Amino acid sequence: EADIYQTPRYLVIGTGKKITLECSQTMGHDKMYWYQQDPGMELHLIHYSYGVNSTEKGDLSSESTVSRIRTEHFPLTLESARPSHTSQYLCASQGQRDYNEQFFGPGTRLTVL
């Protein structure tokens, strides 16, 4: 079934650790996005990509980095996690046609101790 997947779903780590949040989609979409969201709060765009080898920073400054080497894969990396990075991270994808819906993944809830 075509969907968008995120792993891990929950992650608790110590300060200073390097982490990578995985996002994969089997929908054939070229556009992918990363949002940061505290529970029930607004969605902050932190990174987006319109295709392979294309990445842009979003509206909210983030210490994370992303890569887009394959169309279906859009991982997010934190080189040195801090407690201020504790949040939920949502990945989304969108097709090429005009006015296409953004589909969201289930999210990764990150806690940095």
Partner 1 sequence: GENVEQHPSTLSVQEGDSAVIKCTYSDSASNYFPWYKQELGKRPQLIIDIRSNVGEKKDQRIAVTLNKTAKHFSLHITETQPEDSAVYFCAASKGSNYKLTFGKGTLLTVNP
DSSP one-letter string for the chain: ---EEEE-SEEEE-TT--EEEEEEE-S--SEEEEEEE-TTS--EEEEEEEETTEEEE-SS--S-EE--SBTTB--EEESS--GGG-EEEEEEEE-SSTTPPEEE---EEEEE-
Nearer of residues 37 and 67 to partner 1, judged by Cβ: 37
- Smaller CB distance to partner 1: residue 7 or 102? 102
* Smallest distance, partner 1 to C-beta of residue 44, A: 9
Minimum CB distance to partner 1, residue 37 (Å): 9
CB of 108 to partner 1, least distance (A): 11
- Contact positions vs partner 1 (CB under 8 A): 31, 33, 40-43, 45, 48, 50, 58-59, 90, 94-102, 104-107
Nearer of residues 14 and 53 to partner 1, judged by Cβ: 53
Provide the minimum distance between the beta carbon of 71 and partner 1 in the complex, in angstroms, as a whole number.
16
CA atoms within 13 A on the CB side of 51: 1
Q: Of 72 and 106, which CB lies nearer to partner 1 in the complex structure?
A: 106
- Beta carbons of 90 and 104 less than 8 angstroms apart: yes
